[in-house]
């Protein structure tokens, strides 16, 4: 019950931070993530697309924030995309990219314009507006058919009719430069259309590399007039013999919070892998700027992955952190290869084809803004803000929750071990401590109702409060937890037994102190002695709650950091005082009022648990320090 509550509270905190977890068990898995495979656009970047440069056969153009500054003079005349004198490839490039897209510019009531649709397609519309060319008439260009973009084709085409030029039909294509160039046989050079020679093709490739080298996304545009009788039945026959116009460089600035988040993930031992459909040089440059890879590391492409068998892929994923020009099927292969090496993999995705990779990953992360319903159903987590930094925040939260689970398990198990050992040792050593009646029968140190009180009233509130403990400062400086690591390991079991034994000995020593006979003669009644043992066990567990917050750090560090825990301790104390001194509860639980000196004895005995745990942590710290000194001595 406590575990479910702690996980639910963790899910609530994550949801407030824009990370929506769909299953309780995924919270634990997220805290163990050792690899995060992330998309680039919109996740690492703002998805604020702006065309900054154009590259055509005639030279370079720069689109600034206030206008368009080309190399060469542009006369702003509304000319067709083909036929007649063409004065500038830049006009054709931006207009062609606008027509070969589905985004629209919509004017708001306050007079501002916003892009509706894909941000990349919207960038062409905005750049065309910056060019200050006359807006194309809705009645002039009519889109009658479309060959849609797919991740495999990496391009799209639109069939457009120009009603002002004899209803001429044009096929306009937009896509990845390396893909689009394969479909082109001609190139636009000023007013002429010339054959695409090897030199001109090499120049186009060099232009793409120049743009990609400075971290710009690249898209190219091409066209061709359609002959009479040609119909849009399939992409392959039509998308051939195209006239290459040029390439645009699109800036998509990284989110400001991403680089610090990546650095934090690296400190936590989490590897970040970028998987994108962009040009490899663009992907590598962005990855360098964000700190994902070192300068010169480069990227593997989807074509490279297709050449690798499973063994070669396994070797490649050990060192490669950037993948470019990949298809969704490549994501699945990368995930499988990483999982085969023992990694816990988180994978982001937004398209329908990403669903298999998201389902295969240990944590499938769907985009909440741009993601499809299919990916949201397939993923175990949804990013409401599509922000990579939110993933790292969720990992931090997951690790903190894992720590808190260990805390309250350590607390509950050691506290219950104390109860078990108290009864067991009392039965075994009854004659030694005076728990024997006049007929030789064994007297139990605790009643069943008292044990029930401890388990249901005293244990529950501190355990839940411990599940809400603030995360330790080193939560993101430790290596990821291995899937084979147990939540309750041997080290914890040893600590549980030791603390439980101290609780039991303190409780039984109190009984012996108060009862006549035994090792230490006393003068209290059996009911008072039993109440004393009961109270010591309760107080010892409250002291244990402070110690259980860390296995190695002193309880005095951050002693008052968890106000919920202190509230639970105060509540348990009030209830314990009530069960000892309130007559109706005395009768129900077999307790008797204690004197002030008896309360002092109980408090002193219960505190032994606290001091034992502190001494244990100190010894462990000294042992670790000596071991580190020996290691440094040997290395030097």
Q: For residue 174, is pLDDT > 90?
A: yes
**Which residue's entry shows tokens 């009233």?**
457
The CB density around residue 196, as the number of other CB atoms within 10 Å, is: 20
**Helix ranges restricted to H, 100-220:** 119-130, 177-181, 198-213
| % the chain with pLDDT above 90 | 45
Task: Please give the structure tokens belonging to residue 289.
Answer: 């700027």
Alpha-carbon gap, residue 216 to 52, rounded angstroms: 8
Alpha-carbon gap, residue 560 to 567, rounded angstroms: 11
Alpha-carbon gap, residue 569 to 459, rounded angstroms: 10
The model's pTM = 0.80
**Looking at residue 139, what is its pLDDT?**
63
Predicted confidence (pLDDT) per residue in 354-395, tens digit = 899 999 999 999 999 888 899 999 999 999 999 999 999 999
Degrees to nearest 5, angle at CA 451 with 445 and 455: 150
Task: Please give the structure tokens belonging to residue 157.
Answer: 């085409």
Would you name the residues annotated as active-site residues?
39
Beta strand pairing call for 141-147 and 155-162: antiparallel
468 and 564 Cβ atoms separated by less than 8 Å: yes
Q: Where are the strands (E) in 226-331, listed by range?
A: 242-251, 271-275, 300-301, 322-324
Predicted confidence (pLDDT) per residue in 567-621, tens digit = 999 999 999 999 999 999 998 899 999 999 999 999 999 999 999 999 998 988 8
Query: SS3 of 529, please?
Result: helix
Q: At what angle do helices 388-428 and 258-267 cross, to 10 degrees?
A: 30
Strand-pair partners of 272: 36
φ and ψ of 383, to 5 deg? -85, 110
Please give the full DSSP string across 186-241, using - where no structure is assigned: EEEETTEEEE--HHHHHHHHHHHHHHHHTT-EEEEEEEEEPPTT---S-HHHHSSS
Alpha-carbon gap, residue 434 to 341, rounded angstroms: 60
Cα 621 to Cα 476, 498, 628: the distances in Å are: 21, 17, 11
pLDDT band at 115 (very low <50, low <70, confident <90, very high): confident
Alpha-carbon gap, residue 307 to 301, rounded angstroms: 10
Q: How buried is 43 (Cβ within 10 angstroms: 0-12 exposed, 13-18 middle, 19+ buried)?
A: buried
Q: What is the 3-state secondary structure (H, E, C) of 352-398?
A: HHHHHHHHHCCEEEEECCCCCHHHHHHCCEEECCCCHHHHHHHHHHH
Predicted confidence (pLDDT) per residue in 7-51, tens digit = 888 888 889 989 999 888 888 788 889 999 999 888 998 888 888
As a whole number, the mean pLDDT across the chain is 86
**Helix ranges restricted to H, 459-595:** 460-466, 490-514, 526-547, 563-581, 583-589
DSSP annotation of 324 = E
**Looking at residue 636, what is its pLDDT?**
63
**Looking at residue 522, what is its pLDDT?**
75
276 and 39 Cβ atoms separated by less than 8 Å: yes
Query: SS3 of 522, please?
Result: coil
Strand-pair partners of 220: 175, 247
Alpha-carbon gap, residue 201 to 618, rounded angstroms: 71
Residue 362 CA, chain-centre distance (Å), reads: 12
H/E run at residue 170: strand 168-175
54 and 246 Cβ atoms separated by less than 8 Å: yes
Alpha-carbon gap, residue 492 to 230, rounded angstroms: 75
The set of residues, in sequence order, having a beta carbon less than 8 Å from that of 396 and lying 6+ positions away, is 264, 268, 471, 475, 476
CA-based nearest residue to 59, from 228, 166, 181, 206:
206
Q: Which of 89-93, 331-335, 544-548 has the lowest mean pLDDT?
A: 89-93
pLDDT band at 63 (very low <50, low <70, confident <90, very high): low
**Domains defined for the chain, CATH in brackets:** 19-45+255-386 (3.40.50.1000), 50-251 (3.40.1110.10), 398-471+489-635 (1.20.1110.10)
DSSP annotation of 595 = -
**Looking at residue 35, what is its pLDDT?**
95
Helices (H) and strands (E) in the chain, counts: 23, 20
Alpha-carbon gap, residue 519 to 232, rounded angstroms: 100
């Amino acid at each position: 019950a406590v575990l479910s509550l702690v996980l639910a509270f963790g899910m609530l905190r994550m949801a407030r931070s824009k990370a929506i977890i769909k299953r309780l068990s995924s919270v634990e898995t997220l805290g163990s993530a050792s690899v995060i495979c992330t998309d680039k656009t919109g996740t690492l970047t703002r998805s604020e697309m702006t065309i900054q440069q154009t590259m055509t056969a005639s030279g370079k153009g720069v689109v600034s924030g206030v206008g368009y500054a080309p190399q060469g003079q542009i006369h702003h005349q509304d000319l067709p995309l083909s036929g007649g004198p063409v004065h500038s490839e830049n006009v054709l490039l931006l207009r062609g990219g606008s027509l070969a897209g589905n985004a629209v510019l919509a004017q708001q009531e306050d007079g501002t314009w916003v892009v509706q649709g894909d941000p990349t397609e919207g960038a062409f519309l905005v750049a065309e507006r910056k060019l200050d060319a006359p807006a194309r008439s809705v009645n002039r260009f009519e889109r009658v058919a479309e060959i849609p973009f797919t991740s495999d084709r990496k391009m799209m085409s639109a069939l457009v009719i120009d009603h002002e030029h004899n209803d001429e039909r044009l096929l306009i294509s937009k896509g990845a430069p390396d893909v689009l160039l394969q479909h082109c046989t001609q190139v636009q050079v000023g007013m002429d259309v010339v054959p695409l020679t090897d030199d001109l093709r090499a120049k186009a490739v060099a232009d793409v590399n120049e743009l990609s080298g400075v971290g710009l996304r690249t898209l190219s545009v091409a066209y061709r007039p359609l002959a009479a009788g040609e119909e849009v039945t399939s992409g392959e026959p039509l998308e051939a013999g195209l006239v290459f116009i040029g390439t645009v460089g699109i800036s998509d600035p990284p989110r400001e919070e991403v680089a610090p988040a990546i650095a934090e993930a690296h400190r936590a031992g989490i590897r970040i892998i970028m998987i994108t459909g962009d040009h490899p040089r663009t992907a590598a440059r962005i990855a360098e700027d964000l700190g994902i890879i070192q300068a010169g590391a480069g990227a593997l492409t989807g074509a490279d992955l297709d050449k690798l068998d499973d063994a070669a892929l396994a070797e490649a994923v050990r060192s490669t952190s950037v993948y470019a020009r990949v298809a969704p099927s490549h994501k699945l292969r990368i995930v499988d290869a990483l999982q085969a090496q023992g990694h816990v993999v988180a994978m982001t995705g937004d398209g329908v084809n990403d669903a298999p990779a998201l389902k295969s990953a240990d944590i499938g992360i769907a985009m909440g803004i741009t993601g499809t319903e299919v990916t949201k159903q397939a993923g175990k987590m949804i990013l409401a803000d599509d922000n990579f930094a939110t993933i790292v925040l969720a990992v931090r939260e997951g690790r903190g929750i894992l720590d808190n689970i260990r805390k309250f398990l350590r607390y509950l198990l050691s506290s219950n071990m104390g109860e078990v050992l108290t009864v067991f040792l009392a039965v075994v050593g009854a004659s030694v401590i005076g728990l024997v009646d006049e007929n030789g029968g064994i007297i139990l140190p605790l009643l069943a109702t008292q044990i029930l009180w401890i388990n249901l009233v005293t244990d529950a509130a501190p355990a839940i409060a411990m599940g809400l403990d603030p995360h330790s400062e080193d939560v993101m400086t430790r290596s990821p937890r291995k899937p084979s690591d147990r939540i309750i390991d041997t080290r914890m079991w040893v600590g549980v037994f030791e603390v439980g034994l101290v609780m039991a000995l303190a409780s039984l020593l109190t009984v012996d102190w108060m009862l006549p006979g035994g090792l230490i003669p006393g003068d209290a009644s059996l009911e008072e002695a039993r109440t004393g043992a009961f109270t010591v066990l309760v107080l010892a567990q409250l002291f244990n709650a402070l110690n259980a917050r860390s296995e190695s750090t002193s309880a005095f560090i951050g002693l008052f950091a968890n106000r919920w825990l202190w509230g639970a301790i105060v509540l348990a104390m009030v209830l314990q005082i009530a069960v000892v001194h309130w007559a109706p509860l005395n009768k129900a639980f077999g307790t008797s009022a204690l004197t002030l000196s008896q309360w002092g004895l109980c408090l002193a005995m219960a505190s032994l648990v606290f001091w034992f745990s502190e001494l244990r942590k100190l010894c462990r710290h000294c042992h670790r320090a000596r071991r580190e000194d020996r290691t440094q001595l040997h290395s030097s």
